[in-house]
Copies of this chain bind each other. A is one copy, B any other.
Amino acid sequence: MSVNPKNAGVIVIGNEILSGRTQDLNVAYIGKKLEELGIVLSEVIIIPDLEVEIIDKVRMYSKKYDYVFTTGGIGPTHDDITTASIAKAFDVNVVRSKDAVDRMQKFYKHDQLTEARLKMADIPEGAILINNFVSGAPAFKVENVFVLAGVPEIMRSMFDSLVEHLVSGPPILTASVCTNLTESKLAVGMSDIQKKTQEVSIGSYPFFKHGHLGVNIVLRSTKKDLLFKQHKLVEELVKSLEGKILEIQTPTK
């Protein structure tokens, strides 16, 4: 078991996310899954469908992080430029992958496998294919970069298929206390609890519901005993301030 957990970066590629037309849902999914695997998601960047941007960010993230995930831009249309840009980032050619064609042939009837669709079997040379059980055309991996679709249902299928390629660390355990108290009331007490140990991180996430503010207090650690102790203290803090506990998640996986 390594002392330092692996880290990761995500590159979201798509004008539609930046324009607000499409709500990104992939970051939250990847973030949650990586946490379960004990891999730290360190940074996410959202960039437009521009070759120069994709090349630049993929090179940078590939050097900086253990694992990189890109989402978006691997479909068959003129604005799908991710595959070609990834190949350029790694100075390799795009070639039609026989393996990818085979997988797509199993997925589509003969007359459905049009030339436009087959474009999705054009993959950077030497890339490792990742299964896509939703729409057939595979994702792929070049060095430490996993290149995934943007459509959430397809991205999830691809992500679940690639997990075997990742080295996991000790899982990060979480616990939480959700209360109707405001952050202002909790601030001093929470700060005191945080000071007891740095091995349990305590985050405070205010929300606004039915016209009222409340806080979800989230504790994280790889050390179950410490997590349990700190969680108890937070629960007692809320009670001592006469707050309601709206929801509580105990320190188990």
Q: Which residues of A line the B interface, CB within 8 A?
A: 12, 15-25, 27-33, 35, 41-49, 75-80, 114, 116-117, 119, 134-135, 150-154, 174, 182-188, 190-191, 194, 201-208, 213, 218, 220
Contacts and interface: CB of A to CB of B under 8 A. Distances in A.
A19 B32 contact: yes
Contacts of A21: 31-32, 174, 205, 218
Chain A residues touching B, majority SS? mixed
Given A45-B43, A208-B134, A17 B23 contact: no
Taking the full assembly, how many copies of this chain does it contain? 2
Given A20-B35, A42-B18, A114-B185, A77 B28 contact: no
Nearest to A187: B116
A136 B122 CA distance: 54
Contacts of A48: 42-43
A143 B186 CA distance: 32
A15 B35 CA distance: 11
Nearest to A72: B205
A207 B23 CA distance: 12
22 contacts: A15-B201, A18-B42, A18-B44, A19-B35, A19-B220, A20-B35, A21-B218, A22-B205, A24-B24, A43-B45, A44-B44, A76-B183, A76-B184, A77-B186, A77-B191, A78-B190, A78-B194, A79-B194, A116-B183, A135-B208, A150-B205, A154-B208
A115 B189 CA distance: 13
